[in-house]
Amino acid sequence: MERGGLGLALAVTLAFAFAGCKPDVAALDRTDLQSALAADATLDEALTKADEAERARLDDDAANILKRAHPDADRAVSQAEALSPRSPWGKKERDALVALEHDRKDELDRYEKALRSGDLDEKLTALKKQLELERRAKAIAEEVARGP
pTM of model > 0.75: yes
The string of DSSP codes covering the chain is --HHHHHHHHHHHHHHHHHT----HHHHHHHHHHHHHHHHHHHHHHHHHHHHHHHTT-HHHHHHHHHHTHHHHHHHHHHHHH----SHHHHHHHHHHHHHHHHHHHHHHHHHHHHHH--HHHHHHHHHHHHHHHHHHHHHHHHHHH--
Q: Mean pLDDT in the chain?
A: 88
Confidence label for 2 from pLDDT (cuts 50, 70 and 90): very low
| Stretch 16-45: mean pLDDT | 82
Q: Percent of the chain at pLDDT above 70?
A: 84
